[in-house]
Amino acid sequence: LALTGGVKPAQVRKAVATARNVALRFKRDIEKKGEELKALIEEQTHALEKKVSKLNAMVEVAQEAIWTIELYLGRHEKIKQLRGGKAAPKKTPITIRQLVLNMDEECAVAAEYGGIDTQDVEEFDKWIQKPKHLQQVLPEPKGVVALHVRGQMKHHGDDDAVTETYFLMRNGARLYRIHTAFLAKRHLFPTKDEFDNFFYDFDFDWDTHERRKRPLRPGGYEYMEAMKKADKRRRHYLRCLLFLQGLIDRTKVFHPMPAPQINLCNPDEHDEYLRFIRDAELLLPSGKPTFNDWLRTINSQMEVGMRIVGEWRTYHTSGRELERRSHPSGHSPDSHTPYIIETVKGGYFIIRFPYETWRGTASRRASYCVYPSDDWVINFDLVTVEDVDFYINSRVDRHEYTRLFPLLKCVRRLKRAEIKEEKPFRKLLTGQIAGKHGVDVKEAAAEVDGLVRWWKFKNKTHRALTSDDNKALRMIVHEFGLKHEREQDLKQQHADQDRVVKALLKAAPEAIYIGHRKGREYVTISPMNADNVFVCEQTWRHGEYGLEEKACRDWTLLDKRVERWTELWSNQRWPEISIGLRRAKVLTDPEITQAIKWGFSFLGPHERDDHKGGWSSRHKNSKFRFMPLAATWQRKKFKLTLYYSTLKTLFPPKNRLLTGDRDGAAIHYLHVVWEWKKDGLHFFRSGNSEIVAKIENPPWVSEKKHGYDHEADVDTRLVRIWKK
């Protein structure tokens, strides 16, 4: 570039620098003005936001007040009379029930299709009009109870079914259903400690398996949030009372009333005109196990010959699981149909059923594997109608198994049908017992239930008894005679009973049960270990020279023979002893020791086979080096697990050789299963996997604390000291 006009380069450079400085000055001034303007805008915006937030709070309070007034006035209220009739007497107090119920759980209508939803409320209206159903939901002659349509969503996004609230009002024979915009929660009025619990924090202690209660620090963030939640809940309950007050003031649902004007917020009127039923706080344990514990208990007693009923198609885990369990694959049994367990293999049972092909019914039946842990299957022979009625009507944990209502209703129907089918047989049996053994008909009838149950469980295949079953009739009548004879023997020896019991306790100090067999024969039962499975059964004879031991059987299992004994004495551990377990399912202590030795001796070649792809040829015959760590025996599941680790994983990594620090170690575990064959007991590998655990918290300790209800459920048979 050439300069013209005699301008010197230095002058040009000076002019350019001056222009650049001026431009930079202007830029800085503009940026400064922009920051000042931005700060001013942010300040004004913040001030406006504060004003808007205050206005929003005021608007929210105003909207809440308007909605509350509309709630009292019944602006969005729909009242439907379900039934007419005579009203309750004038002096009858109005009852308000605390617990909010769920329609689908109470009536179980359309349970086969998942239960009713918001489209089927009329079905509940038909159901509730029956006297026994009304007595179940609202037994008081004048009162109100709140209901949600469902306790859980039937379909994704069906929130209305869970939150939408209906009120059932009763006045004598009259019945009303009211729908309003008010959404009740779990209770219509608070529990005694509900507001106090806002100011406590609850956590679970894994060592004691109990909830710990810790008060919040006043003035702290959690405490202030708790105050807001408590205030919000208080306003919710006040709106609920205001809605009910509006019903009393502006409708004639509860007329004639015990007083011209009733104020729900006046405690002086509660005893005279009102009754608040705290049924949510009265849901105390009934003494019966929870449904899941009950189902687990009866299914754990499955045996060959027993009948089971299941929700095979509806609640199956997956298509792949169906293929794995059934043969030919893809076929499953019919739901709500009893099937007899025909075979047991390992940890599962096998049932068989006919199935259809494109040619028609197959000549051979299909098979299906059932596990005792399957929660869509019920052991039909160990269920009673009373049990099913209790769990269908129990409100304690019913929401957890509403999906099984169709199965429970089916089992109840089948049980009632079997009782009806057996009625002629039981009547005939009562007459045969009374005639042959010369006892009163009432006495014979009282023994029939126990005798029929004894015969069913005595035989391999369980079935209903009919009047033409001569063999069953003959055997049961004979069993009554033996039982009657044992009772007579016991009455004759009544004077010696206390002395015999004391002598037996002295001869067998570890005994937990003493029973009378027959004549002058007695039996004592002593546990062999802490598993409540194997016992030592000793038979004694009380003669003129004192007690004489006739037989002693160590490591034996109790069976139905116990029902023939007459209990003379037992302690608190006797009810915990398992009766009727299969011998192939459990192991004695010596057999567990044998299984542990087999498992650790199996590990060397087993690990080489598993890792043969990574082993070089020069190591293929070398011995696999590992360290046994622990072996655990799960008492309730009869499961043996071995823990071990390779030697190199027990040492610190190279970069921590000086400190010896390790974050964790790779621990392998192996499950050992067994099977009895003609030549004795055989052990097999069930599974092998790897976990990473910290040294201070090995997996067998965690297994005790977190995996089971009590530490006593896991027995650690071998533990090596695991040090850094």
Among the ranges given (319-333, 453-467, 493-507), the one the predictor scored with the smallest mean pLDDT: 319-333
Mean pLDDT of 111-134: 80
Burial 237-262 (b: 16+ CB within 10 A, else e): bebbebbbbbbbeeeebbeebbeeeb
Amino acid 557: pLDDT: 92
Please determine, for residue 663, whether its predicted confidence score (pLDDT) is greater than 70.
no
> Which residue has tokens 């029956």?
130
CA dist 211 and 427 (Å) reads: 53
Amino acid 72: pLDDT: 72
Bridging pattern class, strands 665-677 and 639-646: antiparallel
Say which residues have a Cβ less than 8 Å from residue 299's Cβ, sequence separation at least 6: 372, 373, 374, 377, 378, 379
Q: Cβ distance 514 to 524 under 8 Å?
A: yes
CA dist 663 and 5 (Å) reads: 81
Considering the chain, what percentage of its residues have pLDDT values greater than 90? 11
CA dist 148 and 491 (Å) reads: 59
Phi-psi region of 201 (alpha: psi -120 to 50; beta: other; left: phi over 0): beta
Q: What values do phi and psi take at 124, rounded to 5?
A: -65, -35
Please determine, for residue 116, whether its predicted confidence score (pLDDT) is greater than 50.
yes
Please determine, for residue 379, whether its predicted confidence score (pLDDT) is greater than 90.
yes
Q: Which residues pair with 541 in a beta bridge?
A: 521, 548
Q: What is the 3-state secondary structure (H, E, C) of 87-103?
A: CCCCCCCEEEECECEEH
Please determine, for residue 324, whether its predicted confidence score (pLDDT) is greater than 80.
no
Q: How far is CA 696 from CA 34, 662, 693, 707, 723, in A?
A: 60, 11, 8, 18, 9
* Tens-place pLDDT, residues 17-27: 888 888 888 88
What integer best gives the mean pLDDT of the chain? Answer: 79
Mean pLDDT of 457-483: 81
* Tens-place pLDDT, residues 417-429: 998 998 888 888 8
Reported confidence tier of residue 705, pLDDT bands at 50, 70, 90: very low
Q: What values do phi and psi take at 679, rounded to 5?
A: -95, 10
Amino acid 610: pLDDT: 47
Look up residue 161 and give its two tokens: 């079914």
Closest C-alpha among 152, 169, 170 to residue 161 = 152
CA dist 380 and 396 (Å) reads: 23
Residue 550, number of CB atoms within 10 A of its CB: 12
* Tens-place pLDDT, residues 554-606: 999 998 888 888 888 999 999 888 888 878 888 998 999 898 888 888 876 55
Mean pLDDT of 375-400: 87
Considering the chain, what percentage of its residues have pLDDT values greater than 70? 79
Reported confidence tier of residue 724, pLDDT bands at 50, 70, 90: very low
Please determine, for residue 722, whether its predicted confidence score (pLDDT) is greater than 50.
no
Amino acid 715: pLDDT: 56
* Tens-place pLDDT, residues 43-94: 888 777 777 777 666 666 666 666 667 667 777 788 888 888 899 998 888 9
Look up residue 502 and give its two tokens: 């004391």
More confidently predicted of 574 and 691: 574
Closest C-alpha among 305, 310, 317 to residue 336 = 310
Q: How far is CA 72 from the centre of its chain?
A: 41
* Tens-place pLDDT, residues 262-311: 888 787 777 788 888 888 876 655 678 888 889 988 998 888 888 999 98
Amino acid 653: pLDDT: 56
Mean pLDDT of 472-493: 79
